[in-house]
Amino acid sequence: MSALALALRQVRYENRAFWRNPAAAFFTFVFPLIFLVIFNLMFGTEEITIAGGQTASGSVFYVPAVVAMSVVNSCFTGLAMSLSVARDGGLLKRTRGTPLPAWAYFAGRVLHVTLVMLLLVVIVTVAGALAYDVDVPGRTLPAALVALLVGGAAFCALGFAVCTIVPNAEAAPAVVNAIVLPLLFISDVFIPPDNAPAWLTDVANLFPVRHLSVALQTAFNPFEQGNGFEWLALAVVAAWGLAGVAFALRRFSWEPRR
């Protein structure tokens, strides 16, 4: 069997294992919807400034914001935690001793979380369109897809990188959430940009979460006159992804930490 076929079989295995844990699968998809409902109940009727300087209802901001959160949670949080648990349980070490190529194993994991991410994005977008009358990207759909793919790849790479610094499976939730939750709060995801102080925006610009949010905000912006691409934001996200790949290649371990 070719390495590509093995990678596709690994995707099939990861998907089957995911759906055989219905409680985890259920809350994976309900969690972003809970945030979408809460944010819209609290801020959905307020007029806020969105990408391009236009004002619109809070719902127009929070749908792409929750889409960005879904990308981060699926590709970064989910991958970093699951790899840490697999490494601590000896699964990675046993897998390394099989004929399965390393790249096929990791490709299977990455493709699985990417599929989960895309399904989450569809669910959040449809919910926003049906419940809050938020426009689904039409002319700017290519920009939205590129932002999702670049963001998904970059945050998967960062998930691998963070996994290398997690000491054990028990510490994984604390370490990963300590990294991602503050960034979500300062990166135009939980708080609209016009409500944040300027210095906080400058700090957020150093990290990829805000740039992913900006790219998606522009792609979902109903007033956007261009093609919806935020090339500078995408370049920053991609640069963080490449840095994550380099860091993971240097430090990744198949065996549990002593």
pLDDT tens, residue by residue, 11-47: 999 999 999 988 888 888 999 999 999 988 887 677 7
Strand partners, 48: 56
User: Is the residue at 257 inside a domain?
Assistant: no
CA neighbor of 258 nearest in space, from 141, 93, 111, 124: 93
- The answer to whether residue 104 sits within a structural domain is yes
Instruction: Give the pLDDT confidence score for residue 52 in this predicted structure.
Output: 61
Q: Is the pLDDT of residue 49 over 90?
A: no
pLDDT single digits (tens) 87-104: 999 999 999 988 889 999
CB proximity list for 66: less than 8 A, separation 6 or greater:
32, 35, 36, 39, 124, 128, 189
pLDDT of 75 > 90? The answer is: yes
Q: Which domain holds residue 80?
A: 3-251
> How far is residue 233's CA from residue 213's CA, in Å, rounded to a whole number?
9
Is residue 193's pLDDT more than 70? no
Mean pLDDT of the 234-253 span = 95
Q: Note whether 223 and 60 are within 8 A (CB).
A: no
Q: How far apart are CA 90 and CA 95, in angstroms?
A: 9
Count CB-CB contacts under 10 A for residue 8: 16
Q: Residue 49: phi, psi to the nearest 5?
A: -85, 125
Q: Is residue 116 in some structural domain?
A: yes
Residue 243 belongs to a domain:
yes
For the chain, give the DSSP string: --HHHHHHHHHHHHHHHHHT-HHHHHHHHHHHHHHHHHHHHHHTTSEEE-TTS-EEEHHHHHHHHHHHHHHHIIIIIIHHHHHHHHHHTTHHHHHHTSSS-HHHHHHHHHHHHHHHHHHHHHHHHHHHHHHH-PPPPSTTHHHHHHHHHHHHHHHHHHHHHHHTT--SGGGHHHHHHHHHHHHHHHTTSSS-GGGS-HHHHHHHTTSHHHHHHHHHHHHH-TT--S----HHHHHHHHHHHHHHHHHHHHH--SSPP-
Is 155 a domain residue?
yes
pLDDT digits (tens, 9 = 90+) for 116-127: 999 999 999 999
Instruction: Classify residue 213: in a domain, yes or no.
Output: yes
Six token digits for residue 95: 């897998």
Q: Say if 256 falls within a structural domain.
A: no
> pTM of this prediction?
0.91
**Tally of structural domains, the chain:** 1
The pLDDT of residue 3: 82
What is the SS3 assignment for 88-138?
A: HCCHHHHHHCCCCCHHHHHHHHHHHHHHHHHHHHHHHHHHHHHHHCCCCCC
Phi, psi of 130 (to 5 degrees): -80, -45
Q: Does residue 102 sit within a domain? A: yes
**Cα 190 → chain centroid:** 15
Task: Return the pLDDT at 1.
Answer: 73
